């Protein structure tokens, strides 16, 4: 899926060593369907050549405000009018200071001051996103932090910086985000803010029910769909709390906020973590919760006594977290969404679960073909009927789910 289709991005490049990553960033943006126009400062040309950027972007590169290639001689006006966002990557400490003061002494700074997006004859604000890159001392300097504060007040969107190894050999805050991360952040920025101000609770992944200190009962859920829902909800402007079973996934990031996360192991832990969060507007119960646990967990590893020895386990049922949470909801608040991974009769089982759990929406999918995969097909089932989405990657499906849920709120 090309998430930046029909978007034109003006990529500004300023003088910093991270400019060597700019051609890769252009490639990433184009891969996502964007049209990219590049404007460089003079200093940037010391780190990467305009020829390279022209080749990868497929468009002429602009550096000087006196560039005569724009017919009316006003590149600082004309270059921003048809763009959906200006992204400056890397942005130097010097350029941030200039932007915060409104200085306009070269093409890129003048263009940022004069920026406007024109559509059907109406001129609106053209968003400005910046990705800082500098030595940690420069980043932490009070003057740079003053620029940051002013730029945030001026609605400039800051992506990063990250912490880590720096080109100068020091380690700390000030690294530019990687091109893939910048591209992801830009995609997130363009998502409609359908859940702005909403509090979203999500469970994801499997649970693990111990038998003894080294063995347990679990299932094949990877948590990818739940984590994709968390990311899509964050992108849509929600405050997200994620309760994750044992998975090896990083907490998703978006440019505009942070997901709070707790890790749990068993269904009982997940149950307690969910019940501790009654104050939410939406509950996505994506986790594949184990239905049973072993009644008495052995304190030591169970040993094989003989060749024919087969241990017997006394299983008890786990609480149904979604059922219990939905029961507490008065007048469908919070709005609860169930997920069902089936092996057969998807729609039938899905409809039964919708009724049994008394929830307004259930999302069914075929378990074995999706566990651990990056792609899926889902069926949304509610009182009105069924709708199918996919096959598609899980983040695209998660965005579809957010859109469909927001219609039902």
Q: Check binding of 340 to ligand CTP (CB under 6 A).
A: yes
Dihedrals φ, ψ of 80, to 5°?
-95, -15
Question: Which one among 85, 321, 354, 398 touches ligand CTP, defined by CB under 6 A?
Answer: 321
Q: Check binding of 86 to ligand CTP (CB under 6 A).
A: no
Q: How far is the CB of 271 from ligand CTP (least distance, A)?
A: 8
* Residue of 110, 129, 106 whose CA lies nearest to 29: 129
The DSSP annotation for 11-25 comes to EEE-SSGGGGGHHHH
Q: Check binding of 205 to ligand CTP (CB under 6 A).
A: no
Query: In whole angstroms, what is the distance from residue 383 CA to residue 363 CA?
Result: 13
* Residue of 63, 87, 83, 91 whose CA lies nearest to 75: 63
Cβ-Cβ contacts under 8 Å for 352 (sequence gap 6 or more) = none
Residues with catalytic roles: 168
Q: Check binding of 9 to ligand CTP (CB under 6 A).
A: no
Which of 27-35, 60-68, 185-193, 332-340 is the region at the interface with ligand CTP (rule: CB under 6 A)? 332-340
Encoded one letter per residue, x for contact with ligand CTP by CB under 6 A and - for no contact, window 269-288 reads ----------------x-xx
Virtual CA dihedral for 246, 249, 254, 256, nearest 10 degrees?
A: 30
Which of 9-17, 73-81, 241-249, 314-322 is the region at the interface with ligand CTP (rule: CB under 6 A)? 314-322
Question: Which one among 178, 269, 291, 404 touches ligand CTP, defined by CB under 6 A?
Answer: 291
Which of 1-9, 148-156, 337-345, 373-381 is the region at the interface with ligand CTP (rule: CB under 6 A)? 337-345
Q: How far is the CB of 289 from ligand CTP (least distance, A)?
A: 4
Query: In whole angstroms, what is the distance from residue 2 CA to residue 22 CA?
Result: 20
Residues of span 119-158 touching ligand CTP by CB under 6 A: none
8 Å CB contact between 295 and 314 = yes
Q: Which residue lies nearer to ligand CTP by CB, 352 or 375?
A: 352
8 Å CB contact between 191 and 257 = no
Scanning the structure block, which residue is given the tokens 């999302």? 363
Q: Which residue lies nearer to ligand CTP by CB, 214 or 356?
A: 356
Residues lying near ligand CTP in the complex (CB under 6 A)? 203, 267, 285, 287-289, 291, 318, 320-322, 338-341, 353
């Amino acid at each position: 899926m090309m998430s930046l289709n029909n978007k034109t991005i003006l990529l500004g490049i300023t003088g910093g060593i991270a400019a060597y990553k700019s051609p890769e960033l252009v490639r990433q943006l184009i891969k996502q369907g964007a049209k990219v126009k590049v404007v460089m400062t003079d200093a940037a040309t010391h780190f990467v050549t305009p020829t390279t950027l022209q080749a990868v972007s497929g468009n002429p590169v602009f550096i000087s405000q006196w560039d005569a290639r724009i017919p009316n001689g006003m590149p600082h006006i004309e270059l921003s009018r048809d763009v959906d966002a200006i992204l400056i990557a890397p942005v130097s400490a010097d350029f941030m200071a200039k932007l915060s003061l409104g200085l306009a002494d070269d093409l890129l700074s003048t263009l940022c001051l004069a920026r406007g997006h024109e559509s059907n004859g109406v001129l609106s604000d053209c968003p400005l996103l910046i990705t800082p890159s500098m030595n940690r001392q420069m980043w932490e300097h009070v003057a740079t932090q003053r620029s940051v504060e002013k730029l945030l007040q001026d609605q400039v969107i800051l992506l990063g910086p990250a912490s880590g190894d720096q080109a100068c050999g020091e380690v700390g805050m000030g690294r530019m985000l990687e091109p893939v991360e910048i591209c992801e952040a830009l995609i997130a920025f363009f998502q409609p803010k359908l859940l702005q101000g909403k509090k979203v609770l999500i469970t994801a992944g499997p649970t693990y029910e111990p038998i003894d200190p080294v063995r347990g009962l679990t299932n094949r859920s990877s948590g990818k769909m739940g984590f994709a829902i968390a990311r899509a909800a964050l992108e849509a402007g929600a405050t997200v709390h994620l309760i994750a079973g044992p998975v090896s996934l990083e907490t998703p990031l978006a440019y505009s906020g942070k997901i709070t996360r707790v890790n749990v192991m068993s269904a009982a832990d997940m149950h307690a973590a969910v019940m501790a969060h009654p104050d939410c507007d939406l509950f996505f119960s994506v986790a594949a919760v184990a239905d049973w646990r072993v009644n008495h967990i052995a304190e030591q590893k169970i040993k094989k006594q003989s060749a024919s020895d087969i241990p017997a386990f006394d299983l008890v049922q786990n609480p149904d977290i979604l059922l219990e949470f939905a029961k507490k909801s008065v007048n469908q608040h919070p709005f609860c969404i169930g997920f069902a991974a089936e092996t057969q009769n998807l729609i039938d089982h899905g409809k039964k679960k919708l009724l049994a759990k008394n929830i307004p929406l259930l999302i069914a999918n075929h378990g074995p073909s999706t566990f651990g995969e990056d792609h899926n097909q889902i069926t949304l089932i509610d009182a009105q009927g069924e709708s199918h989405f996919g096959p598609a990657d899980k983040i695209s499906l998660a965005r579809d789910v957010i859109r469909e849920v927001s219609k039902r709120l």
